[in-house]
Structure 1
Amino acid sequence: MWTEEIVAGRPAWRHTPSDVVFRKVPGGAFRMGLSDAELDAVRAIERGGEVEDTVEPFLASAGDAQPVREVRVEPFLIARHPLTVAQVRHWLPEYEDEYADADTGTARLEGDLDELLELLPFQLPSEAQWEYAARAGTTTLTFRGDRKPGEDQLLDDFGDEARIAAAENAFGLAAMGSANELCADVWISGFAGAPTDARPRTGDGPRTVRGGAADLYPWQGCDEWLLLLSATRYEHADFTAVRPVAPLPPA
């Protein structure tokens, strides 16, 4: 079921039936949420004249990703990138995707989402797992720093191994923030009272989504780059990508 191998110079675990490649994310603690330093970095980008429209709505909604708190995360496996159309067809052979240009593109699910989640032998990441994986040890806007992320950081097709490898963060994960990725947590504005051990928050209602900058490509100058930020979160409304997590395989 699992094959351990080296992918792009890093250890990886391939789920052989579906061909989904997972990376091991080491355990640790991190500061989760949108920090004052990150807000200052967004304001600095604005002062530098790099804002196309306005960051005011983003700043006004900053409370959705606060207060910042320390979260402890246990080691886990997470897919190297969102599930592709071809990978989704392992579980849903009749799956068709109107958003992807190729079978190697990110699958974005709407009506098929619930069926896929029932069939997947994996889980959705908690928000804490997702943000911890996206930050990969950093405390900046993205794992690349506090500069404004550009369209060059988008990765929406995974047919080119060299491009995937070049886009990886320190945990060997690519395209964190490109597609809107569904998390296990129910949507709750803010982190007041949220667990500090990376458990998802459960309940009724829509789930939380992270990322989504490639879903608006080509960008229309509305500061879509804000969706690439590690701390950006919002409520699930329509189509979504899936990047599953799994427990560590037996040694």
Structure 2
Amino acid sequence: MWSEEVVAGRAAWRHVPSGVVFREVPGGVFRMGLSEAELEAVRVIERDGGVEDTVEPFFAAAGDAQPVREVRVEPFLIARHPLTVTQVQHWLPGYEDDYADADSGTARLGDDLGDLLEVLPFRLPSEAEWEYAARAGTTTLTFRGDGKPEEEWLIHDFADEERTAAAENAFGLAGMGSANEICADVWIPGFDGAPADARPRLGDGARTVRGGAADISPWQGCDEWLLLLSSTRYEHYDFTAVRPVAARPAR
């Protein structure tokens, strides 16, 4: 069922029936949340004229991603990129997607999300796992640094292997922040009382979503780049992509 391979020059595990490629993310400790240094980096972008609309709503919602805290994460496998239309159709043969450009495009699931999660043999990442994977050892706005993200960074179709590889971070993950990706955690504003490990915060209600900058591309000048930030989080309310997590196969 699993094949150990080298994909784009990096070790990977492929779930053979579905074709989903997973990367192994090493365990470690990181500082999760929107730091004061990151807030200042956004202010610098604003002062330098890099803001097209207003970032006041972002600053007003900063508490939703605070306080910053240390979180310990155990090693895990996470999909190299969000599930594509073809990959979702492996589990849901009748799935159709009017929002994806092609079968290799990121699947955006709406009413069929629950159906997929019922049959998917993998789990959703916790928020801590997602942010740890997105940061890939960095503490900056994105894994590329504190500069203003560009729309050219977005990737939502994975047919072009060269472009997909170029979009990977240090953990070999492509498109982190491009699509809105659902996490296992229920939406709770802020991290007060959150666990010091990577367990999800469970409960009733909408789940938490990360990313989403490609879902409103081409950008209309409403500072959509803020959705690419590693710490940006919000409540799920509509369509979402899925980037599953798996247990490491036994060799």
| TM-score of Structure 1 vs Structure 2, range by shorter chain | over 0.9
Aligned partners of 2:154 and 2:179: how far apart in 1? 9
User: How big is the shift at 1:54?
Assistant: 0.6
* 2:142 matches 1:148: no
- Per-residue CA deviations over 1:83-104 (Å, capped at 9, x if unaligned) read 0000000000110001011000
Aligned partners of 2:188 and 2:122: how far apart in 1? 23
State the match for 1:85 in structure 2: 85
Q: How many residues align?
A: 251
Aligned partners of 1:94 and 1:68: how far apart in 2? 42
Q: Aligned AA for 1:45? A: I
State the match for 2:126 in structure 1: 126
* 2:37 matches 1:41: no
| DSSP-derived class of the 1:209 partner | strand
Give matches, 1:145-184, under 5 Å. 145-184=145-184
User: How big is the shift at 1:173?
Assistant: 0.1
Q: Aligned AA for 1:246? A: A
State the match for 2:5 in structure 1: 5
Aligned partners of 2:68 and 2:158: how far apart in 1? 33
User: How big is the shift at 1:237?
Assistant: 0.2
User: How big is the shift at 1:216?
Assistant: 0.4
- Per-residue CA deviations over 1:148-192 (Å, capped at 9, x if unaligned) read 001011001000000010000000000000000000000000000
Q: Aligned AA for 1:156? A: H
TM (norm. structure 1) is 1.00
Aligned-residue Cα RMSD (Å) equals 0.4
* 2:251 matches 1:223: no
Aligned partners of 1:94 and 1:121: how far apart in 2? 18
Q: Aligned AA for 1:192? A: D
TM (norm. structure 2) is 1.00
User: How big is the shift at 1:249?
Assistant: 1.1
Aligned partners of 1:66 and 1:213: how far apart in 2? 21
| DSSP-derived class of the 1:248 partner | coil
Runs ≥4 in structure 1, deviation > 3 angstroms?
none
State the match for 1:104 in structure 2: 104
Aligned partners of 1:121 and 1:231: how far apart in 2? 28
Aligned partners of 2:241 and 2:11: how far apart in 1? 24
- Per-residue CA deviations over 1:62-93 (Å, capped at 9, x if unaligned) read 00000000000000000000000000000001
Unaligned runs of 5+ in 1: none
Q: Aligned AA for 1:218? A: P
User: How big is the shift at 1:208?
Assistant: 0.1
Aligned partners of 1:185 and 1:23: how far apart in 2? 22
| DSSP-derived class of the 1:162 partner | helix
Q: Aligned AA for 1:161? A: E
User: How big is the shift at 1:250?
Assistant: 1.0
| DSSP-derived class of the 1:4 partner | strand
Q: What percent identity do the matched residue pairs reach?
A: 80
State the match for 1:242 in structure 2: 242
